[in-house]
Amino acid sequence: MKPSLVLKMGQQLTMTPQLQQAIKLLQLSTLDLQQEIQQALDSNPLLELIEDASDTSVSGETAESTDEQQVDITEETSPSSNGDGSSIEATNSPSQEQDSDSSESVYEDQWAEQIPSELSVDTAWDDVYEPILPTTGSSSSNSDEEFDYTARNSTAETIQTHLHWQLNLTPLSDNDRLIAIAIIDAVDESGYLTCTLEDIQESFDPELEIELDEVVAVHRLLKQFDPVGVAARDLKECLFTQLTQLSANTPFLEEAKLITQKYLHLLGNHDYNQLMRKAKLKEEQLKQAILLIQSLNPRPGSVIQDENSEYIVPDVIVQKRNDRWSVELNSDATPRLRINASYASLVKRADSSSDNTYIKNHLQEARWFIKSLQSRNETLMRVASCIVEHQKGFLEYGEEAMKPLVLHDIAEAVGMHESTISRVTTQKYMHTPRGIFELKYFFSSHVSTSSGGECSSTAIRAIIKKLIAVENARKPLSDSKIAKLLEEQGIKVARRTIAKYRESLSIPPSNERKRLV
């Protein structure tokens, strides 16, 4: 074919860098957003952090998205109500009413041809390095309590390091020490041995002439280490080792040893009748022996786990004030930014030098970044307010009052696409009087009721949990029985659906919930 030029007309969606940045910030969690903001502060000299909330003097353009925003959801009927008698009153701080265009014009008017003789220092020593507190007085004691040097500088302890520490204090021969090290290395996080003693014996060099009896003897010694029962090959061996360490005067110790050695499978299946018959125990004896076994630790390695608490920083805070549910952004979650007025004033309108171009480019990037933050928090505020307005029953009465809600409902209410709502509700958390929940927690499917209404799957789970909590431990409720009880309340749910909800709540089936009373 002969090459030729063809003119075509069409429409194509092009994502600008500003839009890409806004979408990126929208889907970030609070911790990731803080890291992104810190990177922007490090790379852009035109951005600065507002340390004091009251510091609003000559700040240039401020990230109004990080200022305090509050929405009150009322129960009173108003002309702007949404049909259910609720209305939303939004109040913003004065800095949020400023227009970025007007701020830009102010900067253009303030562009000076003369550079000041002295420029303010960008950073101070105290901004980078924390001052050394005095060693006397109450402030010293408070700082010592808050700063835990061991917790911040020590390495995480594992079950292996804990056992090696005890091994170093135990006098052993060279071969026995090699065997002990091999056994310790084969212990998992739960404290159980992950291979057989024969495999450990075969793993050594034949020239060492290590016999299986030596491995067994060292293994028996390691099981007495702290925590007792560690390096056991199965649950039976773990529990029995812990029972042997108890005092001989412990009540019902022999009955517990008998059950652990011979009838642990019957105890696991809750077959108490057959257990009493085979072990020749009375009901009271069996009950006390089971209580003794339940006091043991089936996972001894779990007590040597590093306990580093992971805290969730909520993005939105919901409180009830004067019979109104108030929704506001967590001002501590997102740092407040502004344009550095000193650097911005150095921009010259008609100057095309490299320094002037550098400042102008970073000034524009800083404005884009602040505007993206503003867009993110405004979207988050709108979505959170809509969720709270829809789920006021949950806030008032708990999970059983949760209403069905899907992404499409919120998308229609706020006039956004479902993908945007999905980004906003992922890894974003809301602090309520009933706890901290991810925004996605408030979304659930619905089940039709006999009266023609709808019931949320979250509410059904709460009802199931409540029914099981008050059931008779001797005759626990089966899934079919729970389905019938729900049907009496007008909720039609299949037995398999009940089983699925029960498993999602980590509730065992009825035969495993059976207990002796």
In this structure, are 194 and 297 located in the same domain? Answer: yes
DSSP string, 426-450: TT-EEEETTEEEEGGGG-B-EEEBT
Q: Compute the average pLDDT of residues 485-511.
A: 90
Count Cβ atoms below 10 Å from residue 299 Cβ, excluding itself.
16
* pTM of the full structure: 0.64
Residue 235 lies in a domain: yes
Main-chain phi, psi angles of 261, to 5 degrees: -75, -40
Cα separation of 412 and 421, whole Å? 10
Whether residue 111 has pLDDT greater than 70:
no
Q: Compute the average pLDDT of residues 183-210.
A: 92
Residue 290 lies in a domain: yes
Question: Facing residues of 337 across strands?
Answer: 49
Q: Which of these, 210, 215, 247, lies nearest to 231 by C-alpha position?
A: 215
Q: Which of these, 302, 298, 271, 170, lies nearest to 225 by C-alpha position?
A: 170
Task: Please tell me the predicted confidence (pLDDT) of residue 306.
Answer: 53
The number of folded domains in the chain is 3
Whether residue 120 has pLDDT greater than 80:
no
In this structure, are 457 and 332 located in the same domain? Answer: no
Q: Which segment, 146-150, 306-310, 507-511, is predicted with the most confidence on average?
A: 507-511
Cα separation of 78 and 238, whole Å? 67
Residue 150 lies in a domain: no
In this structure, are 321 and 299 located in the same domain? Answer: no
Q: Which pLDDT tens digit goes with each residue over 452-463?
A: 677 888 899 999
- Extended beta strands in 13-169, E state: 47-49, 69-74, 87-92
Q: Quick one: pLDDT band at residue 65, thresholds 50, 70, 90?
A: very low
Over the chain, what is the mean pLDDT? 80
Whether residue 118 has pLDDT greater than 60:
no
In this structure, are 240 and 367 located in the same domain? Answer: no
Question: Facing residues of 92 across strands?
Answer: 69
Least confident piece of the model among 42-46, 154-158, 325-329: 154-158
In this structure, are 23 and 59 located in the same domain? Answer: yes
Q: Compute the average pLDDT of residues 179-193.
A: 94
Residue 126 lies in a domain: no
Residue 514's Cβ-count burial label (10 Å; 0-12, 13-18, 19+) is middle
Indicate the DSSP class of residue 411: H
Q: Quick one: pLDDT band at residue 282, thresholds 50, 70, 90?
A: very high
Task: Please tell me the predicted confidence (pLDDT) of residue 446.
Answer: 76
Residue 185 lies in a domain: yes
- DSSP collapsed to 3 states, 345-381: CCCCCCCCCHHHHHHHHHHHHHHHHHHHHHHHHHHHH
Q: What is the CATH number of the domain that holds 491?
A: 1.10.10.60
Q: How many residues does the chain have?
A: 517
Residue numbers of the domain that contains 390:
18-110+313-420
Task: Please tell me the predicted confidence (pLDDT) of residue 392.
Answer: 92
In this structure, are 254 and 321 located in the same domain? Answer: no
In this structure, are 177 and 222 located in the same domain? Answer: yes
Q: Quick one: pLDDT band at residue 155, thresholds 50, 70, 90?
A: low
Residue 467's Cβ-count burial label (10 Å; 0-12, 13-18, 19+) is middle
Task: Please tell me the predicted confidence (pLDDT) of residue 81.
Answer: 40
Task: Please tell me the predicted confidence (pLDDT) of residue 25.
Answer: 87
Query: Which residue has better confidence, 235 or 333?
Result: 235
Task: Please tell me the predicted confidence (pLDDT) of residue 252.
Answer: 94
Task: Please tell me the predicted confidence (pLDDT) of residue 326.
Answer: 92
